[in-house]
Amino acid sequence: MSVKQQIIDTLTQVLVPVHLEVINESDNHHVPPNSETHFKVIVASAAFEGQRLIGRHRAVNEALKAQFDAGLHALSMHTFTPEEWDQEVQVPNSPKCKG
């Protein structure tokens, strides 16, 4: 199973998101072709209700501990409550890190 699918499956199970996007951004970095080491996650979940940003990020990092232990190198996170997501937030584009 791909790392991307592992992330999708894990976050779906743990956070029960109303919205989830997992984007492999490894090709923006100096890694071998077809790598799965750098991802961007956009997730809206009721599990984030009442949590500050740091708590939301900790929840995602904790959920993905096995993937980090297996070689996931970088994760960009954009975390929202369902209400915040319904306000049609704009998620910024990731910078190109390749020189």
Q: Are 22 and 10 in contact (CB under 8 A)?
A: no
**Domain residue ranges of the chain, discontinuous segments joined by +:** 3-87
Mean pLDDT of the chain: 88
**pTM above 0.75?**
yes
Task: In whole angstroms, give the CA distance from residue 87 to residue 51.
Answer: 18
CATH code for the part of the protein at 3-87:
3.30.300.90
Task: In whole angstroms, give the CA distance from residue 25 to residue 16.
Answer: 23
Q: Are 39 and 4 in contact (CB under 8 A)?
A: yes
- 33-57 residue pLDDT tens: 666 677 899 999 999 999 999 999 9
Q: Are 39 and 76 in contact (CB under 8 A)?
A: yes
